[in-house]
Structure 1
Amino acid sequence: MADKATIIVHSGDMDKIYSALIVANGALSMGMEVSMYFTFWGLQRLKKGGLEKGPLSKMHMLGIGKHMIQSRMKKVNVASLDRLITDFRELGGRIIACEMTMEIMGLKRKDLNEELIDEYGAVGTYIREARESEITLFI
């Protein structure tokens, strides 16, 4: 088994996207390979201009909660989602977009930020990645 982690990014909630990218970047910085399989609401974040969009999973309060969290994050110098995904890509992380979700949600490749995506695949692609991984996470 490779020194590898695979993360299913199922949620598009801001805090969960942060968690997925922070764990992924931590694993990459420790020398692991990492692939992130974006599906369902997580895939929405790969749409052009979609990374910074989306509610908090709890206490969203019509956007006020998200604004408060973002303000606190800025105060303590937490990197933006754009920065985290740029770091992920620069450290060699791989992003896989779920083709089945694209079909269900009516998304075309042109709708997504293709610069971020390494591969398009179905469940078999995820299973291949997971079988090669020591760590698998569902976020």
Structure 2
Amino acid sequence: MSDKTTIIVQSGDMDKLYSALIVSNGSLAMGMDTSLFFTFWGLLRLKKGGLEKGPLSKMNFLGLGKMMMLNRMKKSNVASLDRLMSDFKELGGKIIACEMTMDIMGLKRSDLREDYIDEYGAVGTYIKEARSSAITLFI
């Protein structure tokens, strides 16, 4: 088993995406190889202009909760999702987009931020990553 982290990003909720990116950036900063496998609603966050669009998982209140949370995060100097994603890519993180989800949701590669995506794959791609990982998470 290698010094590696693999995370399935299944949720497109803003707070869960923050969790995935914070943990993955922490893994990269500690010298671990890190892969994010985006599937289902998580994959929608990789659409062009989609990174910041997810609702809160709890207490969204038609978007009011998200606005309040973003305001509190700004006051606490929490990095934006865009910044966390940029850091992830700069630190050498790997993003895999689920092809099965793309088929199910009618997404084309041209719909997605191809500058984020390193590989397109299916469950076998994820299993290969996870098999050699010390840490695997589902968010």
- Report TM bin, short chain: over 0.9
Gaps of 5+ in 2: none
What is the aligned-residue RMSD (CA, Å)?
Answer: 0.3
CA distance in 2 between counterparts of 1:76 and 1:89 reads 24
Alignment-derived partner of residue 25 in structure 1: 25
CA distance in 2 between counterparts of 1:72 and 1:19 reads 16
CA deviation string 1:36-93 (max 9, x = no partner): 0000000000000000001000000000000000000000000000000000000000
Structure 1 residue 116 displacement after superposition: 0.2
Alignment-derived partner of residue 58 in structure 1: 58
Gaps of 5+ in 1: none
Query: What letter corresponds to residue 71 of structure 1 in structure 2?
Result: N
Structure 1 residue 138 displacement after superposition: 0.0
Alignment-derived partner of residue 2 in structure 1: 2
CA distance in 2 between counterparts of 1:45 and 1:54 reads 7
**Runs ≥4 residues deviating over 2 A:** none
Q: TM-score, normalised by structure 1?
A: 1.00
Structure 1 residue 112 displacement after superposition: 0.2
CA distance in 2 between counterparts of 1:46 and 1:2 reads 27
Number of residue equivalences: 139
> Percent of aligned positions with the same letter in both sequences?
77
